[in-house]
Structure 1
Amino acid sequence: MTGRDENGDDGRRTGRRSTALKTVGIVLAGAIVLGVGAVGWAYRHLDDNIKSVDIDNALGDDRPAKAVTTPSPSASASPLPTGALNILVLGSDSRSGEENQELGGGSSTGARSDTAMVIHLDAGRTGATVVSIPRDTLVTRPSCPLPSGGSTAVAYDAMFNSAYAVGGPVCAVKTVESLTDVRMDHYVEIDFAGFAKLVDALGGVTVATDEDIDDDDSHLHLKAGTHHLDGRTALALARTRHGIGDGSDLGRIGLQQKLVKALLDRISTAGLLTDPARLYRVADAVTGSLTTDTGLDSLSELTSLGQSLRGLSSDAVRTVTMPVVPAASDRNRVVANEPEASDLWESLR
């Protein structure tokens, strides 16, 4: 298996995740107007919703160098950021607690990074590359600092998503940087349970599936066809893997991309900016499901990021999966396919 360009021949697939960032910016900008112009407490509530982790302080200087870019000619005239940027986006799937059990979380405990992608924004914010990293990838997990003190041990041939399980966001970032030798300028984590609330706040999403899905683990049973999903069922679709294709994570990545498109389609047609009550419910769901690094932990910072992408068109975005091949030690796992994977990461530095 090599790197897959998710755009294929269907131009509609390009730019979905860049559009997601822009959509978040629009929603939060509207929420700011709502909060300041109507009820100040709403703004404060939304701002307080966002959780953050001080990743820069935890990792110190033992990281890849920050990219050095030349500002675009228009940068001095714009208050918005325009430099190149790499953002690690994780979808965390918590299976513990009463709420997650009700959402079909299964019997396991803790949280896992079931979705991982690196979003690279080119200097000028007019082009972008989005790289999905399969959770089944075997990596060398580096030693990571722990919040309680001390550090984790180096682990060889470890599952990629184990980094989050043993060391949280800090270890996830350090593992991605070790794998790619690319500095992650920001970190954004989206909680899957919060995602379900977002879908419900939007009134559900419509998704077309190409095959029957029968997965007892995710509690999802759907016939092939078009379905209008509520939050619980949409979350099950994001989690499912055993009921589709060969049961690998690559199949789940494809389903999640469909779900992202459906969510963006719903946001674009929901009339949020003309419906303050629904706008607030959606903004509350968005901010309530986010954990960011300390550089993005406010409404104003997130909105600035979203607005800086307004010149990014969908045809200027490339969406790919990290090149992988089956692991020799375990055919149910994959490893980076070299030198293609290294060439891909080199293009993002």
Structure 2
Amino acid sequence: MGARVGRAGRLAQSEVRGEAPAVGGAKPPAPQADASAGSGRRTGGGPGGGPRAGRPRRGRRALRWSATVLAVVILGTAGAGYLYYEHLNGNIHKGRRSSADDSKARRTQPNAAGQTPLNILLIGSDSRNSDENVKLGGSRDHRGDPPLADVQMLIHLSADRQSAAMVSIPRDTRVDIPKCTDPDTGKVYPATNDIINVSLARGGAGCTLATWENLTGVYIDHWMTIDFAGVVRMGNAIGGVDVCVKQNVWDRPTASVPGGSGLKMKAGTHKVKGEKALQWLRTRHAWGSDLMRARAQHMYLNSMIRTLRQQNVFTDTGRLMDLAEAATKSLTVSEEIGTVKKLYDLGMQMKEVPSDRVTSLTMPNVPDQRNSNHVVPDGANADKVWRMLQDDVPFDKNGKHKKKKSKKYKPTEEPSLDAGRLGVLVQNATRSSTEAPVPQRASAIAQALVAKGYGRANADTSGTLSEEKTVVRYPSADLEGDAQYVAKALGLPMDAVKQSTDVSGVTVVVGADWRTGTAFPKEDTPEAGDLPDGSDAVNGSDTTKCMDVYDVYRW
């Protein structure tokens, strides 16, 4: 396409110089004689008016002719570009953002410039529903089975687009999976408690997104999924990514452990692409655990980002087209970002983040007491990660950050009733995906309110709910001040007070973040880079990281 436009430009230049253009080797038709030539009338500035009088007309005619040719060529090129753009758009598979009816997530408030963070859930599917995926992934017996989400990673772009985070949840993490409806079949899957990778088979990527939102409280804007074949295509288009191992590695079946990715390489740094890249990303046994596999995936993605930043992809038309073809064929995305332009814009936003402002980590976790092969979120440490994402606190210390403002605890509205006349309902919502509800929690908080003058406070005995955060809800604007004063009495910040049509009066919902005591524990506001223990963080600029190989898989 570029050659055609260039030729059109040369044609225009030749016409301006008065040269005869040639299209496809053919000469243009001879210009017709000027009707006024030789008549003796001076239409130009030269003696007799002949030659000088005719030149401007031939020049104008030539310019008009070349402009026509140029327009045809440009329009033809633009048409081809449009068709190719539509071809790329046609490659992209799309789906609904969420397949659950409700969400416990909250959007992060805009910063002073009105900007908000962007959260994208990246899902690696183990689908074997094509010949290509069966060849790459093995397990032909599982062909036709619903795919599982073996890789799940949240990509968080800060509101100012100056930092980014990538957070993985291990596939064997036991969580609450909400009720989901498959958007393709209409089948309804009831809520359940299971490991998180089965969420993909219970309503598609939209169910995995809803599961993440309910676990983390982080609003997720979009999702993307990629399968085995997609990883190979993308790796080939990029041209390879550098990875490193400390010892020779061969992830193969052993006498005690079957399976393996087949990854085999010597100690040191190697450029992997295609099937080799897929082997790296799927390796688990050789690293010692699924948690270490997440670290290897983070190292690969960090290296890929560095590689793309170093390459002149956007000035190399051929490479850009290869990458666009591979990406659009490999990804299934939520419908809001289902065009080439939107995916390109996302890529450019990620490209602008400096490597030393990209941090990858794994959700802090502990062994599951129900099943030693599974893990569960590590309480306060995992909550700290989610809080940092919710509040858009950078995971690194390499930028210039203003200290977060402390939460407001002073009411802004006046109550409409005296405390003793206000009816307050208290609900127990301390059950979480990892912990059982605290018995009599609503009664304890109701009694604390009675002691503070709210004599009509009562516990809801209809059952136990599940809520990550404690909130005070009120139904209408006239009760906002009353709800704020109830929050103040319990030591809750004002942002815990929410208007809701789900309640008929002021209602305190005691969440999983308040399991003990009658005064709400004040939160420590996390600072930039203040990551919890057990997060296994890797900075995007660190090129020294190498994977340790479990001794059984060395050679």
TM range (shorter): 0.7 to 0.9
More moved, 322-331 vs 89-98: 89-98
Inter-partner Cα distance in structure 1 for 2:273 and 2:80: 30
| Residue 234 of structure 2 is aligned to residue 234 of structure 1 | no
Where does residue 85 of structure 2 map in the other structure? 43
2:124 aligns with one of 87, 91, 95: 91
| Residue 227 of structure 2 is aligned to residue 196 of structure 1 | no
Where does residue 120 of structure 1 map in the other structure? 156
Cα distance, 1:205–1:84 mapped onto 2, change above 3 Å? closer
Higher relative contact order (CA 8 A, sep 6+): 1
Cα distance, 1:225–1:317 mapped onto 2, change above 3 Å? closer
| Residue 106 of structure 2 is aligned to residue 70 of structure 1 | no
Shift of residue 103 of structure 1?
A: 1.8
Query: Structure 2-normalised TM-score?
Result: 0.51
Unaligned runs of 5+ in 2: 1-76, 254-258, 391-555
Inter-partner Cα distance in structure 2 for 1:159 and 1:66: 24
Inter-partner Cα distance in structure 1 for 2:187 and 2:128: 26
Inter-partner Cα distance in structure 2 for 1:165 and 1:195: 20
Inter-partner Cα distance in structure 1 for 2:106 and 2:79: 38
Residues 138-179 of structure 1: per-residue CA shift (max 9 Å, x gap):
1122221123224112222x1110101232112111111121
Letter in 1 for 2:104: P
| Residue 91 of structure 2 is aligned to residue 54 of structure 1 | no
Inter-partner Cα distance in structure 2 for 1:70 and 1:255: 34
Letter in 2 for 1:249: D
Q: In the TM superposition, what are the counterparts of 1:1-349 in structure 2 within 5 Å?
A: 39-56=81-98, 58-60=99-101, 62-70=102-110, 72-73=112-113, 82-107=115-140, 108-109=142-143, 110=145, 111-147=147-183, 148-156=185-193, 158-211=194-247, 212-216=249-253, 217=259, 218-245=261-288, 248-309=289-350, 312-349=353-390
Where does residue 78 of structure 1 map in the other structure? none
Cα distance, 1:131–1:286 mapped onto 2, change above 3 Å? same
Does the 8 Å CA contact 1:94/1:105 hold for their aligned counterparts?
A: no
Letter in 2 for 1:151: V
Residues 205-248 of structure 1: per-residue CA shift (max 9 Å, x gap):
33222232323432323333333334011111111112222xx2
Where does residue 6 of structure 1 map in the other structure? none
Does the 8 Å CA contact 2:166/2:361 hold for their aligned counterparts?
A: yes
Cα distance, 1:201–1:129 mapped onto 2, change above 3 Å? closer
Shift of residue 268 of structure 1?
A: 4.1
Cα distance, 1:286–1:320 mapped onto 2, change above 3 Å? same
Shift of residue 90 of structure 1?
A: 1.1
Residues 245-301 of structure 1: per-residue CA shift (max 9 Å, x gap):
2xx211111221232234334434554334322221111101111111111111122
Does the 8 Å CA contact 1:119/1:131 hold for their aligned counterparts?
A: yes
Inter-partner Cα distance in structure 2 for 1:68 and 1:299: 27
Return the index of the structure with the highest Cα Rg: 2
Shift of residue 52 of structure 1?
A: 1.1
Letter in 2 for 1:215: R
Shift of residue 135 of structure 1?
A: 0.8
Does the 8 Å CA contact 1:87/1:185 hold for their aligned counterparts?
A: yes
Letter in 2 for 1:206: D
Inter-partner Cα distance in structure 2 for 1:235 and 1:271: 24
Shift of residue 187 of structure 1?
A: 1.1
Unaligned runs of 5+ in 1: 1-34, 76-81
Cα distance, 1:259–1:307 mapped onto 2, change above 3 Å? closer
Query: Per the alignment, in what secondary structure is the counterpart of residue 330 of structure 1?
Result: coil
Residues 19-48 of structure 1: per-residue CA shift (max 9 Å, x gap):
xxxxxxxxxxxxxxxx95963222111122
Inter-partner Cα distance in structure 2 for 1:165 and 1:274: 40
